[in-house]
Structure 1
Amino acid sequence: MNSLVPSAVLKQIKSGQLNPVYLILGADEYEKDEIVDAFEAVVEEELRPFNVDRFDGMDAGSKSAKVSLADVLGALRALPMMTARRIIVVKRADLLLRSAPESEETTRNLALLKEYLDDPAPTAILVLTAESLDGRQGISKHLKSNATVIQCGVLEDPSDAARWLSRQAKAVGVAMEAEAVRELASRIGPDVRRLRGELDRLLLFTSGQERITASDVREVVGAAVSLDDWAVTKAIEKGQTATALRELALLIDGGAVPQMLLGQLAWVVRTRLSGPRLVPAINFVFRADKALKRSAVEPRVILEKLVVQLCSAKVN
């Protein structure tokens, strides 16, 4: 098994010296998407409709499934058009591989995929993403043996979390004080999903500031329990971004359903917003609803972005 860290694979993509099969694992969906986008950019934009195929394991596993292993195999066999290579992306590949019912066709397609992995086409780059693979499946072992494996968001302890935060802040051009890094890392620990969400929230909250401070972390991250289910809407009515974000976090951490929270935020728009900001606010809610249903982005981040947008809107 050939392994690369995310930064190394991005350099490899820029060099043009690509391997035929990549397996991107880990919990950091943002980082995985960044790598997938880099692979797709290998093909010139005007040629991507003919040479880039995207599949999602979320669309597999039912009688009306839109995606099957046979579809992926067909894409791998197709020849490129006006370029040297095709890019075939399979997101959430673990769902596709485990969703296939036991049948003669499934057995045949899995055997064909194994054959392909042993002797991949020189005109195709296969990129699969998953949080993890079921090690009990023979195809999982075969993939790991034949693919270049990239691990995203693998953190073991708060020290790893602190280094991850420092790198991410630097990557977006934001200064984050050492005490702020330690504060956030100690509060969240090595949970890359929550770290990504909390950092995104801090970036929204501190927009326009020169740096993120430990005080910002303590104000935004919040405590453990919300005592008022409508505290978020009340804070939005008053334009209190930090309070609204903190109360939203408490509700989410307490198990509130994202769609229910979106309903409360939609109520704010319908009843409390007016003037030239109303139409944009309606669009913000519409986009958030669409993202919750279709996007791989964590619901927490989608709702936090919406709260920041609504807090800047005019209230009655």
Structure 2
Amino acid sequence: MPGRLSLAAARQRISSGDIEPLYLVTGEDEAGMSALATALADSVEEDFRAFNVQRFYGSDGGVRLASVLDAASTLPLLSPRRVVLLLQAERVLAARKRPAAGAEAADDEEGESDEGGGEVKSPAGDLALLKVYAKSPHPHAAVAVFASGLQKVFEGLASEAAVVVCEPSFDALRSLAQEHGVRFEPGAVDLLRARAGADAGRLRADAERVVLYAAGRQVITREHVAEVTGRAAAAGGGQLWKEIANRNTAAALREMGLEFDEGAVPYMMLGLLRSVVERTVASRDLPRALDLVLRTDLALKTSGGEPRVLLERLVVELCGMGRA
């Protein structure tokens, strides 16, 4: 049903299978927006996501709304729907006000003032196309457009699309606890809030990292929080190297997830994995391990898959090999 939805309401509907054909998502809670994108992608059965989930990034040169909607027109394969995500859509749908020298030309474009950061100039073509699509979206697809700073533009389409405004909230701990079936001890809550201060976005991000780290535990303690949030001062990748060297697959994948959450660079991660191969893999498995590293390197350089997925697969393979 079109209209304005909270982030929690949108995620609840998606988890129950009530998925809208068009989502317009904006706000300042980047972690919340990312979680919503993941929930939509996960609504497609895992075995068929490669065929039915497509992501576009506004930061990629040449990406336009027309190409996104064209992808949505393709019928799903062995699935009830396709999911098409346009992330960083503000790069496509809006451009900041031009300098004075270009003011005359800028006046020829449609403009709209939005909260935070001055006037926003919206390219008429892409916005007009979005408005046309909102009137008659493809029933076999779920299209989600994620853009910062376009709340007023999106709310103007609330009668025809699901508009989700993601704002940081200090209720994040409660919602995460309910979502993952865990309980935060008072000491854990106090430490998370003390570290985040007034930054609700950081509170949610830190809490999500702690939940990931404590996967399988029903109670989140102060010690869990201290270990995860204190990692920034530690040598990057050290614990990941150790877990792979010890062939602890689950722990290694958990550490890799934390490294990515902290902004690890994929190529640096690959270098760390190569070090593990050279120093810990048995000689009988070494040729295959090095071949996997080279294949992963090539895939990273040629956009042969999502970096995190490629590296996680490599970790699983390495943890199954003999030790030197």
User: Which TM-score applies when normalising by structure 1?
Assistant: 0.59
Provide the rounded CA distance (Å) in 2 between the counterparts of 1:161 and 1:282.
43
Alignment of 1:18-97 (within 5 A): 19-25=20-26, 26-28=29-31, 29-38=34-43, 40=44, 54-58=54-58, 60-62=60-62, 67-74=63-70, 78=73, 87=82, 89-92=84-87, 93-97=89-93
Provide the rounded CA distance (Å) in 2 between the counterparts of 1:199 and 1:288.
30
* Larger relative helix fraction: 1
Provide the rounded CA distance (Å) in 2 between the counterparts of 1:122 and 1:240.
47
Instruction: Determine if contact 1:24/1:127 at 8 Å carries over to the other structure.
Output: no
1:119-177, Cα deviation, whole Å (9 max, x unpaired): 32474555214252446xx865644564212345x4334xx34324423431xxx5554
Q: Which runs of 5+ in 1 are unaligned?
A: none
Residue 272 (structure 1) shift: 2.1
Partner of residue 274, structure 1: 282
Which of 207, 213, 226 pairs up with 1:195?
207
Q: Which runs of 5+ in 2 are unaligned?
A: 96-105, 110-122
Provide the rounded CA distance (Å) in 2 between the counterparts of 1:272 and 1:107.
57
Instruction: Determine if contact 1:177/1:214 at 8 Å carries over to the other structure.
Output: yes
Instruction: Determine if contact 2:3/2:163 at 8 Å carries over to the other structure.
Output: yes
1:205-224, Cα deviation, whole Å (9 max, x unpaired): xx5x6644322333343255
Residue 276 (structure 1) shift: 8.4
Percent identity of paired positions between Structure 1 and Structure 2: 25
Provide the rounded CA distance (Å) in 2 between the counterparts of 1:163 and 1:151.
19
Provide the rounded CA distance (Å) in 2 between the counterparts of 1:113 and 1:10.
23
Partner of residue 144, structure 2: 128
Q: Structure 1 residues 256 and 211 mapped into 2: Cα distance closer, same or farther (>3 Å)?
A: closer
Instruction: Determine if contact 2:56/2:68 at 8 Å carries over to the other structure.
Output: no
Alignment of 1:152-301 (within 5 A): 154-157=167-170, 160-170=171-181, 174=182, 176-188=184-196, 190=200, 191=202, 192-203=204-215, 211-222=219-230, 224-226=232-234, 231-232=238-239, 235-236=242-243, 239=246, 257-274=265-282
1:244-286, Cα deviation, whole Å (9 max, x unpaired): x999979996x87442243123212222232788768986997
1:52-108, Cα deviation, whole Å (9 max, x unpaired): 57351358533xxxx5333344456x596999x865623313344358xx999x744
Instruction: Determine if contact 2:66/2:129 at 8 Å carries over to the other structure.
Output: no
Provide the rounded CA distance (Å) in 2 between the counterparts of 1:81 and 1:55.
15
Provide the rounded CA distance (Å) in 1 between the counterparts of 2:245 and 2:70.
55
Provide the rounded CA distance (Å) in 1 between the counterparts of 2:319 and 2:74.
51
Equivalent residue letter for 1:69: L
Provide the rounded CA distance (Å) in 2 between the counterparts of 1:10 and 1:248.
22
User: Which TM-score applies when normalising by structure 2?
Assistant: 0.58
Instruction: Determine if contact 1:24/1:129 at 8 Å carries over to the other structure.
Output: yes
Q: Structure 1 residues 112 and 221 mapped into 2: Cα distance closer, same or farther (>3 Å)?
A: closer
Equivalent residue letter for 1:27: E
Provide the rounded CA distance (Å) in 1 between the counterparts of 2:284 and 2:76.
48
Instruction: Determine if contact 2:247/2:319 at 8 Å carries over to the other structure.
Output: yes
Q: Structure 1 residues 281 and 180 mapped into 2: Cα distance closer, same or farther (>3 Å)?
A: farther
Q: Structure 1 residues 134 and 146 mapped into 2: Cα distance closer, same or farther (>3 Å)?
A: same
Q: Structure 1 residues 107 and 238 mapped into 2: Cα distance closer, same or farther (>3 Å)?
A: closer
Q: For 2:133, what is the secondary structure of its paired residue? A: helix
What is the RMSD of the two structures over their aligned residues, measured on CA atoms?
A: 5.5
Instruction: Determine if contact 1:233/1:268 at 8 Å carries over to the other structure.
Output: no
Aligned residue-pair number: 283
Q: Does 1:148 align with 2:124?
A: no
Provide the rounded CA distance (Å) in 2 between the counterparts of 1:13 and 1:256.
30
Equivalent residue letter for 1:21: L
Q: Structure 1 residues 262 and 90 mapped into 2: Cα distance closer, same or farther (>3 Å)?
A: same
Q: Structure 1 residues 181 and 108 mapped into 2: Cα distance closer, same or farther (>3 Å)?
A: closer
